[in-house]
Amino acid sequence: MAKETDMSLFNDVLEPFRRVINTDPPKDKLSASSKLNFSETNQSLKEGLSNLLSNKRKSTLGSSELLTPEKRSRIEPSSNKITAPPSPWEAKRLKIDLIAAKAQITKLEARVNHQHTIRKEMQILFEEEKASLIDQHKRDERALSDMEERLQVIRKREQELKDEHSEALKEFQESKSKWEKDKADFQKQIADLKDKLLESNVSSKDQISEMKKDMDELLQALEGAQSEVEMLKKEVAKQTSRAEQCTSLRTQLEKQTFELQQVTNKLKELEYERDSYKDWQQQAKTAQKRLSNMAELEKEVIRLRASERCLRDAVCNKLLLEEQVHLLTSRVEALQPVQQELHEAKVKMASLESSLEEWKNAARAHGVDSARALSSVLESALSNQLTAVAGHSEAQSQMAQLTEEIATVKYERDKVTTKLNDLQAVRKNQESLIHRLQKRLLLVTRERDSYRQQLDCYEKELSVTLCGESGAGSAALLSSRVEQLEKALQGYRDLLAAHDQEAHAKTVEGLRAEASRWREEAETARREVNKLRAQRDQLQAHLERLAAPHAHLTKVLHLTDNPAAAAHKEMQVDLETAQEEIKRLKAALREGGTAVCPEEMQQLRQQLENSRIKLKRMKEEFTSSAQEYRDVVYMLLGYKIDRTGHKNYRLSNMYAESAEEYLTFTLCDDGIEMVHTEYSASLSELVELHLHHHRSIPVFLSALTMELFTRTTIQQEVQ
Amino acid sequence: MSQQQTKNCITLRGSAQIICEYLKFAINSVLFQRGLYPPETFKAEQQYGITLLISEDPLIKSFLTNLLTQSEEWIVNKKVTKLSLVIINVANKEVLECWDFNVQYEDGDVALSKEKNETVGSKELKKIQQEIRDVMLQVAATISYLPFLDCRCSFDVLVHAKPHCDIPEKWAEAEPISISNAQNVQLKTFSTSLHKMETVVSYKLAD
C-alpha cells in the first residue's frame, strides 16, 4: 500500500517530466542516455532524476549496489591470472587499465541501471497512460452507444411522427373527400329539389288549367241543369193538377166506405136480435118442465118443514147442554187450584216425611227413640252449653286478671332490676370507696405506727434524758434518733413512692405531653391563621383590583368610531330597514293579496291557462295515440286487448266467432297468468300443448289465431 | 461590561412600543380566536417565534393604529393603568367578555438610569419576547374553556386613564363596564423591566 501511495506521489512528481518525455521522441532519450557520459546537460538531467529516485526508490539503487560484488568477483580472477611476474611498468599499466576498466564498468553499470529504471518508469507511465486511454476509449464507446441509442430513439420518434403525419394527412384527405362527397350530394339534392320545384310548378300550372276546364264543364252542366229544372217545374205543375183530381176521388171513396160501415152495423144488430130470440125460446121450454114437477116440490116442502121442526128442538136441547157445560167448566176452574194445592201438599208431605225419617235416624243414632226423650236430651245439652259458656267467660276473666297481674309483676320486676342495677352501681362505688378507705386505713395505720414509733422514740429519749445526761449517751441517742427519724422519713418516702408516685408521675407526664401537644397545635393553628389572613388580604386586594376598576381613580376612554359602535349602528340600520319592509308588506297584505303584484298574478294565470291547455292537448294526444296503438296492435297481432281492471286484461281475437269468445290474463309478480274462462275451457288442447308444455303465451295466442283463421276460411269456402 | 449594558438598554419609549406591539398582537389574536371576524380576513405572521394572525380588515387596522399610537403616548407619560378589550353582544349591548391588560410602571435599572440620565431598563429583549410568547400561547389556549359566542358580537377597547388626562380628538368618555356572574382567569404576566403587563380575561359564566 505504501508503495502504491509512493508510486502515486512519484507519478505526480513525474507529471511535468512525462509531458516532456511524451513530446520528445524516445530515440532522443536513448541518444541522450548514450551521451550521458560526456554531455554535462545530460548529466545534470540524470542527476535530477537520480535525486528524485533516491527520494522514493532507494530499493532500485540498492540493486545497483548489489551488482558491485559480482564485478569484484569478476575482477578477482583476473587479478589471480597474473601469476607470471610482469614487469612493474606493465603491471602498473595493467593496474591503471584495470582501474580505468573498472571505472568504466561501474559507470556503464550505473548507466545500465539508470536506463533500466528509466525504462521501468517509462513503462509504468505508458501503462498508466494506456489505462487512462483505454478508460477514455471505453467511455467514448459508451457515450457513442448512448448517442446511437438516442439517435435510434429520435429516429423512432421521427418515424412515429411521420406516421402520425401521414395518418393525419390521410384522415384529412379522407375527411376532405367525404366532405366533397357530401357537398356533391348536397348539390345534387339541391338540384333535385330545384327540379322538383320546377316540376311541381309545372304540375300546378297543369292542374290550374285542368281545374279551369273543369270549371267550364261545370258551368255548362249548371246551365243544362237549370234548363232541366224549368222542365221539371212544368211537370210539377202538371202533377199538382193531377193530384187535385186524386184528392176529390179519395173523398168520394171515403163517403162510400162510411155508408158501407153503416150498413154492416145494421146487419150486426139484426143478428144480435135473432140470437136473443133463440134464448127466450129455450127459457120457455125449461119453465114448462118445472111446472110439471110442482107436486113433487110440495111434498118436499112438507118434508123439509118437519125436518126444520126437528132441528129447532135440537137447537133447544143444545142450548140446555151448553148451559150445563158452562156450569161444569166454571166448577172445573174452581177445582183446579184446589187440585194444585193438593199436589203441593202431597209433595210437602213426602219431603216432611223424609226429613222426619232423617230426624228419627239422627235421634236413633243418639240413642233416643221418642220425641220426649229427644227434647229432654236437647234441654240437657242446652244446659250443658250454658254452663260451659259460663265457665268459658269465667276462665276468660281469670285469664285477663292473670295477664294484668303478669304485667304488674313485669313492671315490678323491671323496677326491681333497675333498682338492682342502681344498687350494684352503688355497691361498686361502695366497694371502690371501701377499697380506697382500706388503702387510707392502711396509710393511717402506717402513720399511726410511725407516730407510735416516734412516740416510742420520744419516750426513749425522754427516758434517756431523764436517766442521765452523759455527752456520749446523748450523742448516741441523738444519732440513734436521727437514724430513727431518717428511717421514718424513708418509710414515708417509700409510702409516698409506693402509692402516689406512680399514678401521679403518670398523670403528670400525660398532662405534660398533652399540654405540649396542645401548645404545638395552637402554634400551628396560629401560623395557619396568619397565612390564611395574608392570603385573604391578597385575594381581597386582587378582587378589588379586578372587580372595582378604580372607578374613582380612572377615567374610561375609548375611540368614538370603535367597531362596536359601528356594528351597533349597522344593526340599527338593518333593524329599521327590516321594520320598514315589514310595514310595507303589512300594508300590502291589508290591501289584499291580489293587489300586491297584479302583473305577476296575470302572468301566473296565463301560465296556468297555458299549462291547462297543454295538459288537455297532451290528453287528447295521448288518447288518440293510445287508440292508434291499440288499433295497430289489433291489426298486426290479431288481438284486441282491453284492460278490464287492475292488472286484468281481456284478449279477443280478430277471427273470433262471437263476442263471448275472449281470454282473460292477469299480471302477477312473476309474469302473466291466464284466468280460467268458459272459452278457455273449450281450448284445453291448445292450453295443454302451448301453456303447460311449451310455457309460452305468445305461441298459444298465435296458435289460437291460426286455428280461428283456418276455421273462418273453411266456413267461407264451405259457403 | 459597559458595552453589554448599552446593548441591553431599553428606553421608556422602546418599552412602550413593546407593550403596544404586544397589545396589537394580543387583540388580533383574541379577535381571531373568539371568531369575531371571519378567519379568511386574517393573515399569518411570524412574531415572538410563533405564528400569529393579524386582521387584514382595513377598518380594524386603522382602529388599532389610532388606538395604539395614542396608547403608546399615554404609556410613556404613565397615564394609563389598564386597557380593556370588551366583546359586546351587538343585539343587546351586553358585555360578554372582557380582556384586561393591566399596565404597571416599574423603575427599571436604577443605576443605569442615573448613568444615562433617563429611565431605562436592562432586561434582554430575547427574554421579554419569550415571556410575551408564553402569554400569547396562553391566549390561544383560552379558547378551550371560554364560552361559545353564538350571537353577533363586536368589540371595543376601553382605556383606563388617569383622571387628569386630557381627552384628545376622536376620543370620548365611556361607561365603565361590568360583567354579571363573571369568572376571572389571570394569564401569565411579563415585564420589560419598565412596564409590567398583566393579562386577565373575565367572561360571563354560562348559567
Residue A562 with chain B: CB contacts under 8 Å = 63, 155-157
pLDDT band at B5 (very low <50, low <70, confident <90, very high): very low
* Mean pLDDT, residues B112-122: 75
Mean pLDDT by 10 residues, chain A (719 residues): 55 61 49 45 52 49 45 47 67 90 93 93 93 94 94 94 93 93 93 93 92 92 92 92 91 92 92 88 85 86 93 92 93 92 94 90 78 84 92 93 93 93 92 89 86 81 61 70 83 74 76 92 94 91 65 71 83 92 88 68 92 95 92 88 84 83 84 81 82 84 87 78
CA atoms of A710 and A398, how far apart (whole Å): 126
The pLDDT value given to residue A319: 92
Cβ-contact A528, B29 below 8 angstroms: no
Q: What is the pLDDT of residue A14?
A: 61
Are A557 and B67 a contacting pair at CB < 8 A?
A: no
- What distances in angstroms separate CA A319 from CA A314, A324, A326, one per listed residue? 9, 9, 10
Tens of pLDDT, residue by residue over B179-206, are 777 788 888 888 888 888 888 888 887 7
Single-letter residue type at A28: D
Residue B73, classified by CB atoms within 10 Å of its CB into exposed (0-12), middle (13-18) or buried (19+), is middle
Residue A71: which H helix or E strand, with range? helix A58-81
Portion 38-97 of B in contact with A at CB < 8 A:
59-60, 63, 66-67, 81-82, 84, 86, 88, 90-91, 93
Cell reading at A200: 311541381
**Residue of A545, A558, A563 with shortest CB distance to B158:** A558
pLDDT at A32: 44
Which of A554, A555, A558 has its CB closest to that of B156? A558
Q: Is B169 on the interface with A (CB under 8 A)?
A: no
Alpha carbons A212 and A219: distance in angstroms, whole number: 10
Residue reference for cell 380566536: B33
- pLDDT for the residue A471: 55
Query: What is the structure's pLDDT at B1?
Result: 40
Residue A64: the pLDDT is 44
Query: Which three cell numbers, joined as nine digits, stand for B17?
Result: 412600543
CA dihedral angle for residue A366, residue A371, residue A372, residue A374, rounded to 10 degrees: 30
Amino acid A545: pLDDT? 65
Closest by CA position to A665, among listed A639, A689, A688: A639
Q: What is the pLDDT of residue A61?
A: 44
- Using the Cβ of A565 and the Cβ atoms of chain B, whether some distance falls under 8 Å is answered with yes
Question: For B203, left (φ over 0), alpha (ψ -120 to 50), or beta?
Answer: beta
Query: Which H or E run includes A596?
Result: none
Nearest to B154 among A549, A557, A567 (CB): A567
Cβ atoms B197, B22 nearer than 8 A? yes
How far, in Å, CA of B191 to CA of B134, rounded? 12
Backbone angles phi, psi at A83, to 5 degrees: -90, -35
Contact B175/A at CB under 8 A:
yes
Of B59, B154, B165, the CB nearest to A564: B154
Q: What is the CA radius of gyration of chain A?
A: 87
pLDDT for A53 equals 52
Nearest to A705 by CA among A634, A630, A648, A628: A634
C-beta atoms of A545 and B170 within 8 A: no
pLDDT, averaged across chain B: 83
Assess B156–A contact: CB distance below 8 Å, yes or no.
yes
Which of A556, A573, A574 would you mutate first to test chain B, the one with the most B CBs within 10 A?
A: A556
A543's grid cell: 378582587
Contacts of A439 (CB under 8 A, 6+ apart): A499
CB of A398 closer than 8 Å to CB of A406: no
Q: Rounded to an integer, what distance in angstroms lies between the CA atom of residue A663 and that of residue A85?
A: 165
To the nearest whole angstrom, how far is the Cα of B165 from the nearest Cα of chain A?
Answer: 8
- Please tell me which of the candidates B63, B155, B176 has its beta carbon nearest to residue A556: B176
Residue in A648, A493, A550 with CA at minimum distance from that of residue B160: A550
Mutate to test the interface with B, among A562, A568, A574 (most CBs of B within 10 A): A562
Which residues does chain B have within 8 Å of residue A558's beta carbon, measured at their own beta carbons? 156-159, 171-172, 174
CB contact under 8 A, A551 and B176: yes
User: Which residue did the predictor score with more confidence, B37 or A462?
Assistant: B37
Query: Distance (Å, rounded) from C-alpha B57 to C-alpha B41?
Result: 6
pLDDT band at B15 (very low <50, low <70, confident <90, very high): confident
Q: How far is CA A246 from the centre of its chain?
A: 104
Is any Cβ of chain A less than 8 angstroms from the Cβ of B173? yes
Q: How far is CA A479 from CA A451, A469, A472, A491, in A?
A: 19, 15, 10, 18
Cα–Cα distance, A85 to A105 (Å, whole number) = 26
Strands (E), chain B: 10-11, 42-47, 50-55, 80-89, 95-105, 120-121, 153-161, 171-173, 182-191, 195-204
Q: Which residue of B has its CA nearest to A575?
A: B91
- Report the distance separating Cα A144 and Cα A359, nearest Å: 152
Least confident of A240-254, A581-595, B32-46, B80-94: A581-595
SS3 A642: strand
Question: Which 3-state string (H, E, C) describes A690-718?
Answer: HHHHHCCHHHHHHHHHHHHHHHHHHHHHH
* Entry pTM: 0.34
Question: In the prediction, which pLDDT does A4 show?
Answer: 52
Q: How far is CA B46 from CA A219, B36, B51, B133, B174, in A?
A: 110, 22, 5, 11, 34
Across-strand partners of A470? none
> How near does any CA of chain A get to the CA of B113, in Å?
29
Measure Cα distances from A44 to A320, A353, A653 in Å. Answer: 211, 187, 136
